[in-house]
Amino acid sequence: MKKIIIVLAFLFTGISAMVAQDMTTVFLSVPDEVLFGLEPEQKDRLLSNPEDTATVSVESALYAKIKRKAISPNYIWLQTSEKATTQIKLLPLINDSKIICVVKTVCGNICDSQVKFYTSKWVEIDQTGFMPKPNVDWFIKADADRNSQEFKNAYAALTMNPMKIKLFADNDSLSVKYEIKNYLSEDDYNKIQPFLIEEPKVLVWDKTSYK
């Protein structure tokens, strides 16, 4: 019900939401709380020559260097430090307007991502209606014997559940990878590994939410 209310709100505000419908407009207006310290000319540089596969980069007061890793009319992926990336994606809604999805990922021994959604005017939206909360059970095999002591002992080691989330330049899907291997000790990982699905889980955008 909450998701339906959110989508209906976008339907009734569709005219105002049409302001930013391409990545150029969206990225040039990105606020500092999403990507801090970029001057307009630096944003222009990161948007330039989208057909160029070579790395495009700028330097800012906060970041030593920001590198553009990928770009499309609805997507941009930036390396903001040695350990951090920011992805920005325009997602279509059923009323032909769009919302913005931002994924920030920090990697050390493990990678973990944070997802946020915004209106085309960069007003943050509660993500509850647009994406299910990543869940470790997505990565447990369907035939795992959850009642076995072996499973219970292995599962008990999962005290943290880092998830690496990736958006795509050429489609609106989203993948979630369970980044548990480097978090656990080798012994603990070897115990849980037989119960795990190691391929990323792919969520499909249906113009109302990720499923």
Would you state the pLDDT for residue 91?
97
Question: Which stretches of the chain drop beneath a pLDDT of 50?
Answer: 1-19
**Which amino acid is located at 63 in the chain?**
Y
Would you state the pLDDT for residue 65?
87
The residue segments making up the domain with residue 24 are: 2-203
d(CA 211, CA 205): 6
Would you state the pLDDT for residue 50?
87
In a domain, 209, yes or no: no
In a domain, 111, yes or no: yes
**Alpha helices (H) in 13-156, listed in sequence order:** 14-17, 23-28, 40-47, 149-155
Total domains, the chain:
1
- Write out the two tokens for 107: 């990697």
In a domain, 158, yes or no: yes
Does pTM top 0.85 for this prediction? yes
The single residue listed with the structure tokens 């302001």 is 19
**Which amino acid is located at 15 in the chain?**
I
d(CA 180, CA 163): 8
Q: What distance lies between CA 166 and its chain's CA centroid?
A: 5
Would you state the pLDDT for residue 62?
67
In a domain, 210, yes or no: no
In a domain, 10, yes or no: yes
DSSP line for 35-76: STT--HHHHHHHHS-TT--SPEEE--SS-S-EEEEEEETTEE
In a domain, 208, yes or no: no
Residue 54's contacts (CB-CB under 8 Å, 6 or more residues apart) are none
Would you state the pLDDT for residue 61?
67
d(CA 57, CA 60): 10
d(CA 150, CA 157): 12
d(CA 59, CA 136): 38
Q: How many CA within 13 A on the CB side of residue 91?
A: 28
